Structure 1
Amino acid sequence: MTSPHINVLRAVDATGVNVAIHDHELFESPIRSPQDFADALGYQLSRITKAVFLRSKSSGHYAVAVCAMDRKLDFAAIADGLHQSTRMEVASAEELDRVVGYPKNGVSPLGLPSDVAVVVDEALLAESTVLIGGGAAGVELELAPADLVWASGARVAQIGVTS
């Protein structure tokens, strides 16, 4: 069984939020895409999130933006939501590893260094629960969106647009 990253587990323990852990390897059908994962759970794709590790083009500040898989990220809105004067861009896999220690396909908004900001798309607040990366590939955490915002110290903004 794949476990969440230790930093994610520590964040869950420290905040006391209620989570369910989902290991892709334990499903009967292979999980090769977010839609496969949603189908295996019987959920809408809007409950499965993507977390993208970003950096400010000029200031070098880092952030994680979280929105549903069926939406696109609006990079200008992310910068506004984070009160950045410059546009945000996707950081490299090397930066992700160096700054956070999560793999490209396992980015989590939990367990981040304190100087990495988190912004969550406000559309996620309409869901009963959402699924976020566990800091390791193939493992997700399910939790209430309000708990996600609280546990990650996230700002909420309209950062996703319909694909």
Structure 2
Amino acid sequence: MAKSKAARGGTGTPATVALTREGVAFTLHAYTHDPDAASYGEEASAALGVSADRVFKTLLADVDGSLTVGVVPVAGKLDLKALAAAVGGKRAAMADPAAAERVTGYVVGGISPLGQKKRLPTVVDASALAHPTVFVSAGKRGLEIELAPADLVRLTGAGTAEIGRA
């Protein structure tokens, strides 16, 4: 995969900066974001012409009082019980959007699992490993990063588990 101009040293997001710093191959994909879109992830899938099982959304949950990141295909939902179990917790609930923005440094709809202000426990849905590349937010609405799932897991320090459901 070729690195974009932004990834080679121009202005970038914290996610692209982190990937560049680590020397990870990735491709940046931009599309025109529609502020009226019902689902940011499904919008990205349609705009880029990529199957929704290869485009992953980044969601934050409160697991037993600690924020945790779940990365799941946009075609499905985050299984909160499975996420809690994956990190050794008992209960999980979706995080407050304002708290998610504050701790990650990104806006809702553009939260990337990469380059967050604070490193949080992260779990990537195991289905990601079935694809040569996956797409995640690059840190702003209308911008996606395509990269190998193994690089995503390694750079986020993530575990993998079946945390997505249809």
Q: TM-score range by the shorter chain?
A: 0.7 to 0.9
What is aligned with 1:46?
Answer: 53
Match of 2:82 among 77, 83, 88: 77
* RMSD of equivalent CA atoms: 2.5
User: For structure 1, which runs of at least 5 residues remain unmatched after alignment?
Assistant: none
Q: Aligned pair 1:9/2:1, yes or no?
A: no
Q: Aligned pair 1:107/2:114, yes or no?
A: no
Distance in 1 between the 2:35 and 2:105 partners?
A: 26
Report the Cα offset of residue 5 of structure 1.
Answer: 6.2
| C-alpha contact (below 8 Å) 2:28/2:144 kept by paired residues | yes
Higher-RCO chain (CA-CA 8 Å, sequence separation at least 6): 1
| C-alpha contact (below 8 Å) 2:58/2:113 kept by paired residues | yes
Q: TM-score, normalised by structure 2?
A: 0.82
| C-alpha contact (below 8 Å) 1:5/1:136 kept by paired residues | no
The letter of the residue matching 1:99 is: V
Report the Cα offset of residue 67 of structure 1.
Answer: 0.9
Distance in 1 between the 2:35 and 2:51 partners?
A: 18
The letter of the residue matching 2:113 is: P
Q: TM-score, normalised by structure 1?
A: 0.83
User: For structure 2, which runs of at least 5 residues remain unmatched after alignment?
Assistant: 1-5
Q: How many residues are treated as equivalent by the alignment?
A: 155
What is aligned with 2:3?
Answer: none
Q: Structure 1 residues 35, 55: CA separation in 2 closer, same or farther (over 3 Å shift)?
A: closer
